[in-house]
Structure 1
Amino acid sequence: MGKIEDAIQQKEFKDPFNKVVVNILYTQSYLVTAQNALFKPYDISPEQYNVLRILKGQAGVPITVSSIQERMLNKMSNASRLVEKLKSKGLVLRSECPNDRRQVDILITQKGLDLLHDLRPLLEQANKNFINLNLEEIETLNNLLDKLRG
């Protein structure tokens, strides 16, 4: 990928703050594009994968759509729509919440767990391929990104 200036054909930036924001946004787009290509043969999106990972983390305990929405990486995603798509593919189950009939409980199916199992080694290898950093640089970057968000 190289330097951001080359990637977007811009010689200079207004200031280093502007450059880092553009650099982060461009890098996010690069990673999402790579993930889309990885997930496409499995007929899911990165957002649907995120929902499945959230549900797997529940270890069989149902969760509401609003709780899924709170935990999603992309807060702008429509969790209800994502759950419906996953349901139509047989990857999740929806049921009325026994404690609050206005809520809907969501559970991952065995088919959903199997998909995550199949994707795991592919995603682990892809992540190594996407990120051109050594372990020390990765730790530094993770610390800097955590610090950036305050």
Structure 2
Amino acid sequence: MGSLQDELRQSKPFQSLRQELVLQIARTSAVLMHAWEQSLRLYGITLTQYNVLRILRGAGNTGLSRNDVADRLVTQVPDVSRLLERMVRSGLVLRVRDTVDRRMVTATITERGMAILAELDTPSYLVADERLAHMPDADVQTLIRLLEVARTSAHCPAAKR
């Protein structure tokens, strides 16, 4: 595939180099995430649900509050409570209300959720490896570093350039 401008069939040039960069990141993310979502569809879960399952698996038996899950998501979603409730209905997550502080609800991964993750661990890594196999490791490491700089800077934009 050619340039992003060609891929989007855009006749006018981008307004700035940084605008092109942001669109490159967004388009590349969309292409890679689409491939990943296709592999998850076979298991009846979304990419966000997969992310929640991985977060809860990492939390262990103690589980996490809704806010803690929300803070750790790769992609922010508007209503984590509703997402968790759908996952409870699907048998992927268990929510338990604290007996002392009734306002506190902890989410944990179920055995079914763990089983799905166990089946998905290898295929999900393969999607990334297959889609980016053409890139040398040194380029991947450089891109990771540059994206970390861009993401960190996006959280607190500089006053001047």
Q: Report the TM-score when normalising by structure 2.
A: 0.86
Alpha carbons of structure 1 residues 126 and 30: separation in structure 2 relative to 1, 3 Å? same
Alignment of 1:1-150 (within 5 A): 1-11=1-11, 12-131=13-132, 132-150=134-152
1:83-137 Cα deviation digits (max 9, x unpaired): 1121111111111123421121111011111111100110111111222422111
Aligned length: 150
Alpha carbons of structure 1 residues 77 and 34: separation in structure 2 relative to 1, 3 Å? farther
Alpha carbons of structure 1 residues 2 and 40: separation in structure 2 relative to 1, 3 Å? farther
Q: Is the 8 A contact 1:97 1:103 kept in 2?
A: yes
Alpha carbons of structure 1 residues 102 and 52: separation in structure 2 relative to 1, 3 Å? same
Letter in 1 for 2:30: S
Alpha carbons of structure 1 residues 77 and 53: separation in structure 2 relative to 1, 3 Å? farther
Structure 2's unaligned 5+ residue stretches are 153-161
Letter in 1 for 2:63: P
Query: Within 1, Cα distance between the matches of 2:112 and 2:19?
Result: 44
Alpha carbons of structure 1 residues 108 and 78: separation in structure 2 relative to 1, 3 Å? same
Q: Is the 8 A contact 1:47 1:77 kept in 2?
A: no
Deviates more, 1:108-117 or 1:25-34: 25-34
Deviates more, 1:52-61 or 1:82-91: 82-91
Q: Report the TM-score when normalising by structure 1.
A: 0.92
Alpha carbons of structure 1 residues 2 and 133: separation in structure 2 relative to 1, 3 Å? farther
